[in-house]
Amino acid sequence: MAVPVKRVEREFLLRAAADENLDIMMSTGGAEWTVRITEVRDKFVVFRHSAPLHALMKGAYLDFTFLVRGQTVAFRARIKEAAESRLVTEMPETVWKNLSRRYPRMNPPAGLKVSFSFKGERYELPFPASQAFDPVEEPQANPEFEPRDIRKLMQEFYRKAGKVASDRGVVMYKSRGPEGIEEELLTRHGRIYYLPTAIGGIPVVDPYVSQRILTRDDFLAYFEERGVEASYREDELARFERAKRVEGVLSELKIPILFQEYVVGFVHILNRQPGKAPFDLGVLDTFAQFAKVLAWSLKINGYFRNAPRRGSGIPTETIDLSAGGILFGSPDESLQRALLEGSEIVVTLSTGKRNISAGGVVRRRFLDEQGTFFGVAFTHIAPEDFRYLFEYLYGRPFTDDDATSIEGLPMRGML
């Protein structure tokens, strides 16, 4: 994983490149050149180059990548001055090492248009949207829950739930919205409301690696949003838990039924009967699987048949790209919910002379005040499109020496 280096190591790496006369790849304006560092000072770096001066405008940013002691190092620096064979840049603010990518990302060339579409159909549904996303794919064969016949599926749910709970059911958000604190939270986060025992209360921690259940912190954050002072938030949570005990609740589960980013309803099992065991994680896992199977069953049985589809070709703000991937951003909150790490998309690159389609997967994403940014690695691209994209970005043909791999893209098998 790429990591930023501290100031001392930054200067060490740059001076090592100068002392060892290392080849450094400099990229700008849709082309790249090999340069070398000749001098490293506190506030600037001097390079020897052979690039045309028209590509080295004062104030412009350049991208640099080099290998030193088995590590890939990259940085971006702004031009202070340029002359024949001599280039001076400001000292880069950040230098990265241990990059997994083989080729540097470039600023998007002028005229490049980029859009993407989701794998499979995307729906616009009149249900609460959550911060989670489930693509709703066909589940693995499970003799306990068969999705093809939704009537039998529901019968099996009632049979199994009846063994552990006094009350059970499925609530759909078709005629009503979320009611109560726990439903507001489960629809917002797309996570499970889990009350193992009324005495023990809401769990302090989520035992799953990937967040699956609502914790005390989620409830406390909810009260904070509602303006409850810090000293009273625990009291509000205690009041919620006490109300459950007064209602005779011994153990309870509400599991969201996620369809893409929408919570279309929830699976509810509740125990008020003394003598029945509290719901453990095995019970939670069983009915969480039922909720996933039910979402798939609703889809294949036409529950969403008449729902409008989202259009494809969603435009993006491209930050930079390489022959093996792209970084783009969007202020659209629905994309923040829908595009998670591991999501598969199709990226379309239009250069004016050629349209390139590449399958990709979201490897990284991060948020700031301007929106969400997504790092996508290309996973499928036609060989002729790849060669064209490579030359379009780097200003030189793709060679056998480049064929090892590019950000995990298996090029050898494509040549």
CA distance 221 to 130: 16
Q: Greater confidence, 294 or 367?
A: 294
pLDDT value for 325: 86
- Residue 412 pLDDT > 70: no
- Residue 12 pLDDT > 70: yes
- Residue 404 pLDDT > 70: no
- Residue 103 pLDDT > 50: yes
Scored b (16 or more CB within 10 A) or e, 173-184 reads: beeeebeebbbe
pLDDT value for 311: 64
SS3 per residue for the chain: CCEECCHHHHHHHHHHHHHCCCCEEEEECCEEEEEEEEEECCCEEEEECCCCHHHCCCCCEEEEEEEECCEEEEEEEEEEEEECCEEEEECCCCEEECCCCCCCCECCCCCCEEEEEECCCCECCCCCEEEEEECCCCCCCCCCCCCCCHHHHHHHHHHHHHHHCCEEEEEECCCCCCCHHHHHHHHHHCCEEEECCCCCCCCCCCCCCCCCECCHHHHHHHHHHCCCCHHHHHHHHHHHHHHHHHCCCCEEEEEEEEEEEEEEEEEEEEECCCCCCCCCHHHHHHHHHHHHHHHHHHHHCCCCCCCCECCCCEECEEEEEECCEEEEEECCHHHHHHCCCCCEEEEEEECCCCEEEEEEEEEEEEEECCEEEEEEEEEEECHHHHHHHHHHHHCCCCCHHHCCCECCECCHHHC
Residue 29: band (very low, low, confident or very high) from pLDDT cuts 50, 70, 90: low
Q: Greater confidence, 97 or 203?
A: 203
pLDDT value for 255: 98
pLDDT value for 406: 43
- Residue 414 pLDDT > 70: no
Mean pLDDT for 253-261 is 95
- Residue 136 pLDDT > 70: yes
Average pLDDT, the chain: 86
Residue 415: band (very low, low, confident or very high) from pLDDT cuts 50, 70, 90: very low
Residue 297: band (very low, low, confident or very high) from pLDDT cuts 50, 70, 90: very high
Q: Greater confidence, 34 or 209?
A: 34
**Each residue's pLDDT tens digit, 390-402:** 989 888 888 776 6
pLDDT value for 24: 93
- Residue 155 pLDDT > 90: yes
- Residue 87 pLDDT > 90: yes
Alpha-carbon dihedral of residues 309, 320, 3, 56, nearest 10 degrees? Answer: -170
- Residue 304 pLDDT > 50: yes
CA distance 326 to 358: 11
Please state which of the ranges 19-28, 146-155, 168-177, 335-344 shows the lowest mean pLDDT: 335-344
pLDDT value for 243: 97
pLDDT value for 401: 66
- Residue 407 pLDDT > 70: no
pTM of the predicted model, to two decimals?
0.62
pLDDT value for 294: 96
Residue 406's DSSP bridge partners are: 409
pLDDT value for 131: 83
Q: How far is CA 405 from CA 51, 65, 188, 266, 414, in A?
A: 27, 16, 40, 45, 11
pLDDT value for 140: 77
pLDDT value for 116: 82
Please state which of the ranges 8-12, 163-167, 178-182, 411-415 shows the lowest mean pLDDT: 411-415
Q: How far is CA 262 from CA 37, 155, 171, 200, in A?
A: 53, 25, 14, 31
Q: Which domains does the chain have, with CATH numbers?
A: 3-97 (2.30.110.10), 113-121+310-414 (2.40.10.220), 129-300 (3.30.450)
